[in-house]
Structure 1
Amino acid sequence: MASAAQRLGMIGIVDSVCVVHQLVDDPGTVGVTAIDKRPVEGPVRVRTLGLHGDVQADRKNHGGEEKAVYAYSAADADWWARQLGRDVQPGYFGENLRISGAQGADFDVDGAAAGERWRIGERVVLEVTWPRIPCATFGRWVEQDRWVKRFLQAGRPGTYFRVVTPGEVRAGDAVEIIAVGEGPSMREVAAVNS
């Protein structure tokens, strides 16, 4: 795990930009879920409340300015694919951005601390706010026993962001950590909730 100083300037790549594909019936209190996100081609506008074309069905617990964009690591998705014995396609965990390291290096999405800022592409700046704390809907979607607890205990929660500077993102955009945060990492914050 890299220190804050080591994280500054870290470079990654956006593998996929994902938005909701369709609302799916769900037995939870809202009745539907927008977790079914899939990659889209071309540029996608990023605004204060997230990506154009994306939606959250349960706006009480998801989305808003503090959880406008959700990023997940390609390395973590590959790890889960091995654990689950199946592909974990971009968007499957409800993420908007699937991120990998540049030139084969790791890009530790979960090692970010609140306040860390990422520049994506030419203009977009995102600021780390929260780790993903999974809900029962996520558990039903993945169809795994005790999924919520298992996901938290794995220490691979992914990271939510608020939008500092709007713009456009697309697959292939560079991701650069331009300011580091202080305090515990998203991995450590999520561990407190496991």
Structure 2
Amino acid sequence: MKIIATNIGERKEIDWKGKTVTTGIFKYPVEKSVFLDKEEVKGDAICNREHHGGIDQAVYGYSLKHYDYWKELYPDSDWDLGMFGENLTIDDLDESKIHVGDTYKVGEVILEVTKPRQPCMKLGVRFNNMKIVKQFWKQDFPGIYFKVVQTGEVKAGDELEQIKKCSENPTIAEVYRNKRTEKGM
């Protein structure tokens, strides 16, 4: 797996149907490397610490291959990498083959898979269409949150080398399906 883009967002206040919404979901690729710290990507805005950032959600990765599916549903969207709020756009991140606890080395950084992303209304804000939140729940490619075991810089072009496989644990897709069932979706 290879990092295609590193994405950073600024704190942004927008008017959403007459209500002010503060979000960091508007992420865009940066040309420089980014520092993956224990609880966040340095320089990336986290506006809701209850659901983003922290030890188990320090870095969010999403697969470039999933973009094709969404582009068919939203052909008129202004497509940029980072569209899903991911810090790392990765060429082929397959949630059906990646297990909770799997660990990867990227340069000097070590990342451990923790859980899938659960979509919130801010994804709908980014797409200017709340339908995407329900659509996102109904498929099995939510992207992956990583814990940063060893901090450091990463950049586009860096390869993720698996150093630990936890086949005994559920895959990210399985965890996501269970969450969907819990929510009655």
The TM-score, its normalising length taken from structure 2, stands at 0.86
Structure 2 partner of 1:45: 35
Matches within 5 A, 1:66-105: 66-85=56-75, 86=77, 88-101=79-92
CA distance in 1, matches of 2:74, 2:32: 30
Structure 2 partner of 1:186: 172
1:145 Cα offset (Å): 4.3
Residue 30 and residue 117 in structure 1: after superposition, are their counterparts in 2 closer, same or farther (change >3 A)?
farther
Q: In structure 1, the residue corresponding to 2:91 is in which secondary structure?
A: strand
Structure 2 partner of 1:118: 104
Over aligned residues, Cα RMSD in angstroms? 2.1
CA distance in 2, matches of 1:89, 1:82: 15
Gaps of 5+ in 2: 181-185
Structure 2 partner of 1:131: 116
CA distance in 1, matches of 2:146, 2:20: 24
The answer as to 2:162 corresponding to 1:177 is yes
Gaps of 5+ in 1: 1-11, 102-106
Q: Which runs of 4+ in 1 moved over 3 A?
A: 26-31
The TM-score, its normalising length taken from structure 1, stands at 0.83
1:134 Cα offset (Å): 0.5
Identify the match of residue 36 of structure 1 among 2, 16, 26: 26
